[in-house]
Structure 1
Amino acid sequence: MSNDTTRAGRAGAIAARAAPAAAETYKDGSQDSAVTGFALLLPAIALYAAFSLLPILVTIWISFTNSGGFNTQAEFVGFDNYLRATQDPIIWQSLLRTFLWLIYHVVLAGGLGLLMALAISAMSRGRVFFRTALFLPHLVSLAVVGVIWANIYDPFYGLLNTVLQNIGLGGWIRGWLSEPMLVLFSVNVASSWQGFGLYMLLFIAGLQNIDRSLYDAADVDGATAWQKLVHVTLPGLRDVMTFVISLALINGLKGFATVFVMTNGGPFYASEIITTYIYRLAFSAQDHGLAAVLCIMMSILAITITVTFNRWRARGAA
């Protein structure tokens, strides 16, 4: 009995002496792991700081200066550039056209994506072919799309006016890129043609996740195709639809390439949006201070759209 007690006491003493050592080893190991992890993240942090954080800080600084280029000396002017931005009528016109551009893109690209998704889902054959074929325009750069559609819209030998003339609709012939009331819509059609394929695939994925028993129940109740669309399909696509709308709004802010290639903001600023006006101020007028203010305005607009739709989606999910 005494031997057992002695052995138990020795084991307890050994465990007591080993416990601090084990804890110390665990502590040292975790500290080494943290240092190693930070060392591995350091290149990514450095790249992020160099190509994201630093440009943001420089842009904010330039917005408070009268910078006219890298070869000129910039002086601090306070909020003068922000005051000039409120007094420039072209900025407000371009901002209004930017919102109009976003609405066009959501309706045209998002709506066409939904229609094509519904059409493809209703097919019994050829789904893969049409899904692939309709997605191909999304793989073309916006600059190339601008060149293609600028030729389609050409008033003399363009495909659109030629077809209208040949089918007896000559009265519909227009200068699609020269009439101020049509130019923004015409350019947005080209941009939406390039972007609708992505939204189509998202809607197709959403349609595949709708419970098929809901359609069977609707058939039993004698629902028409329109009633099934309104009461089954669209409610089932609510989450996908909010995501597509938010994505379309963000992508709509990237309309610079198409507008720049097709019209360069013309005629008479009729297709000028914020991004093209920023380019004009920075590289044509060499007014970097005012251009930086508009860049900050665009960033705030993008953040506002993202936060608003995230809260909307969260409220809908709740």
Structure 2
Amino acid sequence: MTRLTTTADAADLRAPASARRRDGSRDGFGSAFVLMLPAIALYGLFSLTPILFTVWISFTNSGGFNTEASFVGLDNYLRAGDDPIVWQSLGRTFLWLGYHVVLAGGLGLVLALAVSRLSRTRVFFRTAFFLPHLVSLAVVGVIWANIYDPFYGLISTALTQIGLGSWNQGWLSDPLLVLFSVNVASSWQGFGLYMLLFIAGLQNIDQSLYEAAEIDGANSWQKLCNVTLPGLRDVMTFVISLAMINGLKGFATVFVMTNGGPFYASEIITTYIYRLAFQAQDHGLAAVLCILMSLLAIVITVAFNRWRARQAA
């Protein structure tokens, strides 16, 4: 039986296709919004709300959760600018960041190049080098604090056994060595992840490029500089960005091994935030430094990625 077309059906058929698409897109957006609403609510509750609360605390003289806080305007920001420890910890944070990128990222690259050349034992060494990354930073701090012990530690014992006992240093008590020493422990925990990322990047390089380089008479160093490193450019950008972000979070290792000492020589922004918030009960100044660290992470990451984009263009 033939279906009779009603006036409404005819009007719908005469409606422009763009209008029908707009109606469909609105319906699709509404359905997508309903599906995303639980995730948006959880994100707002556990991410946006703490951020906004931290910003609010930075404008108050909050001294704890059980104390009354009053609005003080920009006083906490002015105090942060006048606090010499803030500037010292900020400088050491940049130094810590550079150490982590060079030590952890560089060691990850070197080991990735070495492991990728192996055939039978590749899986064993890849797993062995990744295992430290599974250990928490607090445990790593305890392990390396014992390694650095000047009396019975592994380093001092080894130097004594080979006749170089005079080289033994106060690795965690010397203000000139302590930040580097602690960063070695933190980088030892993190290099395994970067190594796996570099190995994945090496596997994606076209092997025909190496064959062409061999035909042209390139040696190993020339193949590394002209084939391997350019092929790892995108992975290297990601690893450096990740290493910089992880470097800004170096709290646990410093706290366990030195607690910012001696004489603030290993104090970084995160440990000073903890000291202000939970020891001095100065939540306003601690909130200012939290905001400063967040902005620092955003600025460093964005600036580095834009620089890499200009270099690749």
Instruction: Give the distance between the partners of 1:235 and 1:30, measured in 2 at CA.
Output: 43
Match of 1:14 in 2: 5
In structure 2, the partner of 1:3 is: none
Give yes or no for the alignment of 1:52 onto 2:51: no
Aligned counterparts, 1:119-158, within 5 A: 119-158=114-153
Which residue, 238, 241, 246 being the options, matches 2:233?
238
1:313 to partner: Cα distance:
3.5
Q: Distance in 1 between matches of 2:34 and 2:131?
A: 42
2:253 aligns with 258
SS at match of 1:180: coil
For 2:9, the aligned partner's letter is A
Q: Distance in 2 between matches of 1:80 and 1:191?
A: 35
Q: Residues of 1 paired with 2:92 and 2:189: CA distance?
A: 20
Match of 1:224 in 2: 219
Q: Report the Cα distance in structure 2 between the residues aligned to 1:159 and 1:26, rounded to whole angstroms.
A: 71
**Native 8 Å contact 1:239 1:313 kept in 2:** no
Q: CA deviation at 1:25?
A: 11
Alignment of structure 1 residues 1-318 onto 2, 5 Å: 14=5, 17-20=8-11, 34-318=29-313
Shift of 1:107: 0.4
Quote the offset at 1:312 in angstroms: 2.7
Q: Secondary structure at the match of 1:101?
A: helix
Q: Decide whether aligned partners of structure 1 residues 83 and 173 sit closer, same or farther in structure 2, where only a CA change above 3 A counts.
A: same
> 2: distance between equivalents of 1:284 and 1:158?
31
| Alpha-carbon offset, residue 20 of structure 1 | 4.7
1:210 partner SS: coil
For structure 2, the residue ranges without an aligned partner over 5 or more in a row are none
Distance in 2 (alpha carbons) for counterparts of 1:216 and 1:36? 53
Cα distance in 1, alignment partners of residues 52 and 21 from structure 2:
41
The more displaced of 45-54 and 22-31 is: 22-31
Cα distance, 1:96 vs structure 2:
0.2
SS at match of 1:14: coil
Letter in 2 for 1:192: S
Distance of aligned partners of 1:28 and 1:223 in 2 relative to their CA distance in 1, 3 Å threshold: closer
Give me the whole-angstrom Cα distance separating, in 2, the residues matched to 1:219 and 1:21: 68
Change beyond 3 A, Cα 1:285–1:169? same
Quote the Cα distance in structure 1 between the aligned partners of 2:32 and 2:204: 39
For residues 76-107 of structure 1, what are the alpha-carbon distances to aligned partners after superposition, in whole Å with 9 as ceiling and x for unaligned? Answer: 11111111111100000000000000000000
**What do the CA deviations read for 1:109-157 (whole angstroms, capped 9, x no partner)?**
0000000001011113211111111011111111111111111111111
The number of aligned residues is 309
Structure 2 CA distance for aligned equivalents of residues 41 and 220 of structure 1: 55
Unmatched 5+ stretches in structure 1: 1-6
RMSD: 2.3
Distance in 1 (CA, whole Å) between partners of 2:285 and 2:22 is 53
Aligned AA (1:216): E
Aligned structure 1 segments of 4 or more residues deviating by more than 4 angstroms? 19-36
**Structure 2 CA distance for aligned equivalents of residues 19 and 192 of structure 1:** 71
Q: How far is 1:314 from its partner?
A: 2.9
Q: Is the partner of 1:271 in helix, strand or coil?
A: coil
**Most deviating of 65-74 and 93-102:** 65-74
The one-letter code of the counterpart of 1:182 is L
In structure 2, what residue type is equivalent to 1:244? V
Q: Closer, same or farther in 2 for the Cα pair 1:39/1:232, shift >3 Å? A: closer
Q: Distance in 1 between matches of 2:307 and 2:10?
A: 53
Amino acid at match of 1:18: D
Distance 1:19 1:162, change over 3 A: farther
The percentage of aligned residue pairs carrying the same residue is 78
Q: Distance in 2 between matches of 1:207 and 1:84?
A: 49
* TM, length-normalised to structure 2: 0.92
Contact 2:237 2:305 in 1 (8 A): no
